[in-house]
Chain A
C-alpha cells in the first residue's frame, strides 16, 4: 500500500500486535495450582485428671453436609479438677492436618470459648495466654461441680486484625466462629 509508513498505520499495527500478545499471555493453563482449602473435620477434647486422659471427639470427616457428624458424649466425675486440652484436626487429608498448631502460631487472633449449660456444670479457666495476656484456650482447666447433665459448647473465635489493628480483646464478641459445636455432658 502506498502510505505504508503512515504513523497511524504503525500505531494501528502495534495496537493489533499488542492485542494479540495479550491474548497469548492470558492463555489459560490446564492445571490449576491451588492451595488446598482448610477443612476442620475433628475437634478432640482431652480431659486429664490424676494421670488418666479421657478423649472426646466431634468428627465430621466428609466436611459440611454429607454424612452426619459423630459426637462423643462427655462423661466426667463430679468435683474433679481436669486439665483440658483441645486438638483441632483435618482428618480428610493424609497425613492428618493439625490446625491446633496454626491456632497456636496465631494466638493473638484466636480464642477458644467453653460454655457449659447449665453454668453450674463445670468451671473453665484459661491455662495459656497470648502476647497481650489474653487467654487462648488450647490448654486450661475444667473443674466439675456436683453431679448433673447438660451441654458444653466449644467455640473457636477467629478474631483477625482489621486493617492492621488487632481485634482480639479477650472477649468472644469480635470475629466469627470457626468452630461452634455442642457436646452432651454427664457428670456422675
Chain B
C-alpha cells in the first residue's frame, strides 16, 4: 500500500490563557499551525483542519497557516483533511492546570509539535468516499455490501438478506475491484449469490473510489475500487485491545470481534550506535452467528449464518526498511432460504403467484440450525510486503497468495453432499517505485502487477472429469505495467497515467456431447489511460474532473456457462466469442465546505462499448426438470449516466440534516432501451442531534420504483414464434413498487479514563416494520425483505 510520498503536517497546539484577564477563561484556547508538503516543501493551501467534537474548522491560508480559536479546554480530535492525502486525526488535550497561573507573556503554554505522516492517496482527481470512525462503527456486524450502502452511489445486489454484493454506479462483480489490505481480492465472482469473502472488522477505514480506476489498480476496475485498510501497526511500546459486540434482534444474531495490537522499539535503549527499529503486531478475530430471520409477516426457514474469521499481522521497521506480513482467514456458512429452491419456471411462476412463501417455509419456531441448501465459503490471504526508501524514492514489493474454496450444497437425494465445488488459487505480485519530485514539480510512480490463478472445479486442472460443472477449470495470467505522474501546484493538480495489460486465459473443459477435453485459449491486450485535474479556487470550493478508461476481458462464466443456474431458475449460455468491453468514464465533482454547509456533487457519464451482460431470450430451454427461461451472455454498447449527491446542513447548533441522492440512468444504446438489473434511484435523509457525547438520529430512505427496465427481447435472430416469455421484457415479474423506510439510532460515548473508552449504540432498522421488496434482490419474486431489526452495539477499547 505504501506508495508514499510522505507529507508532514505540523500541528502546533497551544493552550493559552487570555493575556489580560485575571482569571483565564476556560474557552480561550486555540490551536494553530501550518500544513506543508514535505516533498515539495510548499505550504498547502486550502487544507481543512477541524475539531471533530466541535465540528469547527478552518482552511489553511496562502501560507499554509491555520488557527482555530475560542476553544474550551478539553480533549479534542483534530483532523487534517487535504485533498489528495489521507485524512489524519490527532488527539490533543487543551488544559488549564497548574501552569495556568503562570503569567503568560508569550503565547506558548503547551507546545505540542506533532509530525503526522500522511500517506498520499494515489488518486488526486477522482472522487472517493470514506467510511471510518463513527460512521464505520455504525455498520459493525453487517456484511461489507450492507455497510457500503452508506455511501451515495453504492447499492447492493442481494440474494436474501445475508448475501449482498456491492454495486457501484449500477455495476458489480468483476467490475468492482476490492483491495483487501493492499491485495486485490480474488474470489468467486460469478453470480449474484457470491458476496465478497471479507470480514469488514479487518478494516478501520473503507474507501470507495467511484468511476474507472483502471490505471492504478488493474484494467478491469470499470465501476470503481473498494479499499479496506486496517490501522497502521503500532511502532512504539504499547498494547491496545478493542472489543466490538453486536446483537441484532432479527435472527438473534450475535457478532463479536476483538483486536489485540502492540509494538515495541529500541528508542528507550540508552545511547547507541544502534540503528533504530520497531516492530508491531496485531491479532484480530470475529465470530458471527445468526438464526432464521423474519420479514414483517413471517419467519423465513433456513436463513441463518455462521462465520469465523481471524487475521494476524506483523511488521518490522528498520531505518529505511519495512517488512509486513499479513494473513487472514475467512470462513462463512450461509443458509439459503428453503423456499428459494426453484425447480423450474413453473415452480417460479407458482411462487410468484402465491405472493408469499408457503407456510412450510415460514415456520413458527426459531432455529440457529443451517440446513440445505447452504454455502460454505473459505478464503485465505497471505501477504508479504517489503518497502525500502532511498533518496530517489520508495520501492515496494507486495506478494500475495489467496485461496478461495467455495462449496454450494444443494438439496439432493441420499447422502450426496456436494453439488458444486470451486477452488480458486491466486498468486499476485506488485512492484512499485514512487519517485521523489523531479524538478520539484513532477511526482509519480511506476509499477508492474502480475497475477496468476487456477480454478479447479473437477478432476485436475488439465484433465476435467465431469461435464456437469457450472464453471470449467481454467488458468489465468494477467500482467500490466503502469506509470502515473502528477503535478501539484498551489491550487491545482494535474494527474495523468497510462497502463498496458496482457491477459492469457486457458480453459480446460469437456463440452456437452463430447468425451474429450477441449482446451480453449484467449489472449487479450490493451492500453488504459487516465487524465484528471483538481482545482481549488479558494478554501471552500474544490473541483475535480477526470477522464479514465478501463477494459475487461470476458470471464470464464461469461464465455462458457452452459446449464441451469439453480435458484435463479434460468438456463444460462455463455458465448465463446465475446470480446473485451472497453469503458470510458468521464466525471466531474464539485465540493463545497463552509461552517454550516458541506456538499459534494459527483456527475458521471460512463460509456461502455461491448458491455457484457446476461440477457433473456424469452425462449424456454427444455430439460428433464422442466422448462427454464433461457439467458445468453451478450454484448451491447451502453451508457451509465448519473449523479451522487451528499450534503450536510447545520440547521441549528446541535442539529444537522444529511441528504444523499443516488441517481442513475443506464441505457442499452445498441438496442435503444433500458438495461436490465439496474438499481433504482434513491434519496436518503438523516436528521441528527448531537449533544456532547450523545447523538440521536432518524433516517428516512426512499427508493423509487425502477421504471427503466427492458421491454423487448434483444436477440433478433430468434424467431418470434419461439419467444414465449415477453410480458416483462424477459423478466418474470415487474419491478417492485417504490418503498420508504425509517430507521432511528442513538449512541453514547463514555471516556472511562485516558486509556479506556466505551461506545454504545442502539439502532432500529426498518422502524415501522415495513413490507417491501427491492428490484436488485433475487428473492423479490417470492419473499419480502427483512423486517424490523434492532441492533445493540458496544465497542470497548483499553
Contacts and interface: CB of A to CB of B under 8 A. Distances in A.
B416 A164 contact: no
B279 A8 contact: yes
Contact of B281 (A12, A30, A38): A12
Contact of A178 (B456, B571, B625): B625
B371 A162 contact: yes
A62 B513 contact: yes
B8 interface: no
A132 to B, nearest CB: 14
Nearest to A71: B622
A13 to B, nearest CB: 9
B625 A26 contact: no
Contacts of A16: 314, 325
B380 interface: yes
Contact of A180 (B314, B327, B346, B465): B346
Nearest to A160: B411
B458 A32 contact: yes
Given A37-B419, A64-B623, A32 B338 contact: no
B519 interface: no
A167 to B, nearest CB: 5
B459 A32 contact: yes
Interface stretch (B261-269, B435-443, B601-609, B634-642): B261-269
Interface residues on B, range: 35 or more
Report which residue of A38, A64, A178 has the largest number of chain B beta carbons within 10 angstroms of its beta carbon. A64
Given A26-B380, A64-B623, A163-B369, A180 B344 contact: yes
B248 interface: no
A162 to B, nearest CB: 5
B140 interface: no
Interface in B416-430: 416-421, 423, 425
Contacts of B338: 162-163
B256 to A, nearest CB: 21
A180 to B, nearest CB: 3
B689 interface: no
B460 interface: yes
A133 interface: no
A158 B412 CA distance: 9
Contacts of A58: 624
Interface in B341-359: 341-344, 346-347, 358
A34 B360 contact: no
A65 B571 contact: yes
A64 B571 contact: yes
B687 interface: no
- Pairs of residues from A and B, 4 with the lowest C-beta to C-beta distance, nearest first: A180-B626, A177-B343, A176-B343, A66-B512
11 contacts: A23-B382, A37-B419, A38-B412, A38-B416, A60-B624, A64-B625, A68-B622, A158-B343, A162-B301, A165-B363, A180-B627
Interface of A: 2-3, 6, 8-9, 11-12, 15-16, 18-19, 22-23, 26, 28, 30-32, 34-41, 43, 58, 60, 62-69, 99, 102-103, 105-106, 110, 155, 158, 160-165, 167, 169, 173-181
